[in-house]
Each structure stands twice: as structure tokens, then as C-alpha cells.
Structure 1
Amino acid sequence: MDLPYFFMVLLTIIVICVTFLLRHQRTINAKIGFICWISLSVYFIIDYIVIQTTTVPYNFLGQPMSDLGVTTCGNNTYELSSLFSSDICSPYHLLMNWTFTLTGLVIFVGTIFLHQFWPDNRKTRMAAIFLVIFGLSYTMAGIFPADVNFLGHTLPSIPGMIVQIPALILIGLSIRKEMPRLSIWTFICTLITTSALILMSLQPFVDIFGFLQRILYGSVYLWMVITAIALWPLYHKVHQM
């Protein structure tokens, strides 16, 4: 394993350990959680920068997001790549893979630290588990680029494309009385990410797989950003009492 990817693994282990050690420090955790989820707003800025640096044309609509993290240039650099593209070359692949890794970690940390704002019941605990899987699957995609370890990249990514749906449904149901507007927003994002997943599974839409994949993940990122902003006043209200 190359040194940068070793550091990704090391950072992931440290973040997971520290997060669980600090999970009961509610005041500082809330601030960290807000920052983590709001920071997801920069993901597609980096995505755009990396796309602009590719040395062969990158099809934003058709090619998977993973292509930007492929470490080698050429044709058929990983299994199934021929379904989406004939050529890949992303000089900033390391930046993209660090972005994948850090994106998953901030989702993970935000999920654990902001759980305090949801009703404490089985639904929200299950939702937290699903979102933890969602985040860590993204981290694994950065640690294992598709051309280096296709199974290590792909297998964790599969649940990460699905688990956000039951997570958002459970949260939406749990907060529909206490936070009706946020509940509606949650169900809207659930509908968007679910629709994207369904369309991705249909062969005629393979030409826009990359676009649908960005909607699939981006709708959840947007939900997290807006949700963190919406919960922030609640934090200040509680701590002013």
C-alpha cells in the first residue's frame, strides 16, 4: 500500500476511535457535528476541480465518480470500466481519493455527534447505523481506488448506495411531530435519492450513470448540510437555557 493510502487507513482508525471516545461530550460534539455536515457543501467543488484537470475528456454525465480516483491512465483500467468509458486519466486522483476518504469520515462523525438532536428511540438508532455505513463505505472507496483493488472499492460501495434510503425514512418518521418542516425536507431528499437509485439500475439510463450517481449522493449531502444548519439554532436555544 502506498504511503498516502496508509495514512488514509491510519486517519480512519484514529477518527473512529476518537469519535467513540468523545461521543458523550455533547456540547463540543454538536459543534464538531455541525461543521462536519456543513463541510460536505465543498465536495462537488473539488469534484469539479479534479474534472477540469483530467488529461482526457471526462464525461460528467456518463462516467462514475470513481473514475476520478483511478490511479492509472489508459483503457479498461478496472473491471467494468468499459461500460462507462474507453479512456481514463486523472492526474489529481490522489486529491479525489482523499476527498472520498474525508467525505466518508465527516459523514460518520456528524452522524454520531448530531444523533443527540433526534428522539432517542430504535428508529433513530437504526438510522444512525445506516448513515455510519453510508459514510464508511465512501471512505473505503477512497482508500481502495477501483484500479488498485476493485473488490475493496466496489463491495463496500454497494450498501453505501442503498442504506441512506431507510436511514432518511426512519429519521423523517421519528421527527415528523417535533420537527415537521425538517421531516418534509427529509422525505423530499429520500424521494430524490431513491429515484436516482432506481434509474441507475435501468440499462437505458447507463449513459447518464455519472449524473444519477451524483444525484444519489448529492441529495444526501444536501440533506445533511441543510439539516445541520436547521439544527444549529436548536443547539443555541438549549444552551442558552
Structure 2
Amino acid sequence: MRYEFHAITMLIVALAAVAVIFLLRKSNRLSILIGLLSWIALSAYFIIEAVVIRATTAPYSFMNQPMSDLGVTACGTDTYVLASYAICSPYHWLMNWTFFLTGLAVLMGAVLLYPLWPKVRSAKIASIFIGIFGVSYGISGIIPADIHFYWHTFTALPGMIVQIPAMILISIAIYKKMPRLFWWTMICTTVTSAALFSLFLQPVLTSLPGGLLQRILYASVYIWLTGTAIGLWSRGYDI
């Protein structure tokens, strides 16, 4: 199917999701359940990415190539500015939908689970940052790198950074009331921060595996959100 069809469908789904979030924004058991399931579902990303990588018909390096290459809609070399190598991902549509739905799931959880956090300003700001992370990540699925490289890159940049202050602020909000979740958050914050720092060093230390570091950067957030949702669920929604 053509890129335009998928992009328009994603936008329709996004509008419908925003309407659902608006309707469910007040805390109730249904909204909390949807929020928890949204974050737990993030773990499916790893399975889908493995399927897409397996389907590629041009050599793909998990260690060195960015995740965005799996969503490139055309086969060949020079498909976008930085891709002088061959790319061919027949399941690019599945990867782009996964980027989009992953971002949407993050956003839904950020809004619907906000009532579970302590009523402090740091938790509110952190929830906004998590929502920005989700929006940033979701847009990368709507605009693949070969369709418009600069918009794809520009909109993805916030999602590489905002999760770190979000996790730090959540830690500040919960360190007294939820000590186990506090330490879980601190561990994941350390991992994603180290990955981001290493990516900044890659232009100098070219031997660093950029693809792997990018995956660690994002995977640490998915795993944190999934583990956080499970931890909140185990408390019976009663914070």
C-alpha cells in the first residue's frame, strides 16, 4: 500500500485516540486499566522489530544501523541523506505502524496514569515530558526518513532527550512513597542517560555501535514504562 494511505490512516487513529483520552481523562478504573495496558503493551515492540529485521532483503546491521532504516519505504541506496548503503525493508509499513502505535501507547499511559502519581508538580511535569516522548516517537512512524528526512529527524530529537528529565522528576516525586519503583526508575535513568551520552560521542569514537546504542536508549524507556505499569498495577491502583 502507498505511504499516503498509511499516513492518513495513522492521523485518523491519532485523532480518535485523542478523543478517547479526552473522554477518559478523569480518573476511573477503566481509564487506569487502559493506561496500564498501554504501557505494558510496549514490550511487544521487540518482537515486531525482530520480525521486520528478519524480513529485510538487504543486509541490515542491528548493531550499526538506526531503527529508522526499517521504516524506509523505498529499496535501494541513498534512500535518504545519510544512507549511502543499501536498504530494503519489505515490512516497512509494519515498522512505521509500530513506531506510531508505540508512541501513542506512551502518550495514553502518560495522560491516563497521571492520577496515580503523588500530587506534586514534579510528577505533573514528568507526565508532560513522557507525553512529549510519545508524540515525538509516534511522528517518526508517520514521516519515515526517506519521505522527509529533516522532519523525521527534527521531530524525533525531543524523544531522545525528554525521557531523562521525566524519569528524574518521577524519582523525585516517588522516592518516599514508592521506594522500589524509585530504584527501578533510577536504574533505567542511568541506562538511558549512558546510551545518550555514548551517542553524542559517536562522531568522535566512530567504533561505537550506533544502532545498538539507539536501541538501548529507547528500550530502557519501554522497559521502564512496562515495569512501572506492572508495579502500579500490583498496588491495586491505590497510590
* Structure 1: gaps of 5 or more residues: none
Q: Using the alignment, how far apart are the partners of 1:154 and 1:121 within structure 2?
A: 33
Deviation at 1:21, TM superposition (A): 2.3
1:210 to 2:211 alignment? yes
Quote the residue 1:39 is aligned against: 41
Quote the residue 1:105 is aligned against: 104
Q: Using the alignment, how far apart are the partners of 1:163 and 1:52 within structure 2?
A: 31
1:120-142, CA deviations, whole angstroms, 9 ceiling, x for partnerless residues? 11101110110011001111000
Question: Quick one: which amino acid aligns to residue 131 of structure 1?
Answer: I
1:8 to 2:43 alignment? no
Quote the residue 2:167 is aligned against: 168
Q: Using the alignment, how far apart are the partners of 1:162 and 1:44 within structure 2?
A: 21
SS at match of 1:61: coil
1:151 to 2:150 alignment? yes
TM-score, length basis structure 2: 0.95
Deviation at 1:156, TM superposition (A): 1.0
Q: Using the alignment, how far apart are the partners of 2:155 and 2:207 within structure 1?
A: 21
1:5-27, CA deviations, whole angstroms, 9 ceiling, x for partnerless residues? 10001111221222022100421
Quote the residue 1:180 is aligned against: 179
Aligned residue runs from structure 1 range 42-191, under 5 A: 42-82=44-84, 86-191=85-190
Q: Is the 8 A contact 2:38 2:108 kept in 1?
A: yes
1:62-81, CA deviations, whole angstroms, 9 ceiling, x for partnerless residues? 00000000000111111122
Q: Using the alignment, how far apart are the partners of 2:18 and 2:135 within structure 1?
A: 10
Q: Using the alignment, how far apart are the partners of 1:39 and 1:180 within structure 2?
A: 24
Quote the residue 1:223 is aligned against: 224
Q: Is the 8 A contact 1:199 1:205 kept in 2?
A: no
How many pairs are equivalent?
235
Structure 1 residues 207 and 63: alpha-carbon distance in aligned structure 2, compared to 1, 3 A threshold: farther
After TM superposition, the runs of 4+ consecutive aligned structure 1 residues lying more than 3 A away are none
1:21 to 2:20 alignment? no
1:215-236, CA deviations, whole angstroms, 9 ceiling, x for partnerless residues? 0000010001111111112226
- The CA RMSD over aligned residues, in Å, is 1.3
Question: Quick one: which amino acid aligns to residue 233 of structure 2?
Answer: W
Q: Using the alignment, how far apart are the partners of 1:172 and 1:49 within structure 2?
A: 35
Q: Using the alignment, how far apart are the partners of 1:100 and 1:28 within structure 2?
A: 25
1:3-50, CA deviations, whole angstroms, 9 ceiling, x for partnerless residues? 111000111122122202210042111110111000011101100000
Q: Using the alignment, how far apart are the partners of 2:39 and 2:185 within structure 1?
A: 15
* Structure 2: gaps of 5 or more residues: none
Question: Quick one: which amino acid aligns to residue 146 of structure 2?
Answer: D
Question: Quick one: which amino acid aligns to residue 50 of structure 2?
Answer: Y
In percent, how many aligned pairs have the same letter? Answer: 50
TM-score, length basis structure 1: 0.94
